[in-house]
Amino acid sequence: SQQGEEDPQALSIQEGENATMNCSYKTSINNLQWYRQNSGRGLVHLILIRSNEREKHSGRLRVTLDTSKKSSSLLITASRAADTASYFCATAGNNRKLIWGLGTSLAVNP
């Protein structure tokens, strides 16, 4: 079953613009992770935010977590054509399993 729900399902922007994707989940978590997937191949870990953290940065990525609303957002600043991919959030609880959303498909147009 899916835990996370990403919003929007698809996003198309111009190079240089910012891209924001949201993720909502249902149960309590230890951490929330964002991954990227190119062309249906393996997923690449982007960033992990723990349940006691509210914001985290990594390069052009900024992730926020609001545990009261059970939601997270991923912001990609100054997007590039190479950022075109699908982005997934995954939540980790006490049972060590990662539970995934359906993903947001991002297209960055040159």
- Residue ranges that bind other proteins, judged by CB under 8 A: 1-2, 4, 30-31, 33, 35, 40-45, 48, 88, 90, 92, 95-103
d(CA 2, CA 101): 5
Tokens of 37: 């997937």
Q: How far is the CB of 29 from other proteins (least distance, A)?
A: 10
User: 2 or 18, CB closer to other proteins?
Assistant: 2
Inter-residue contact 2 to 102 (CB < 8 Å)? yes
User: 83 or 101, CB closer to other proteins?
Assistant: 101
Tokens of 101: 């959303």
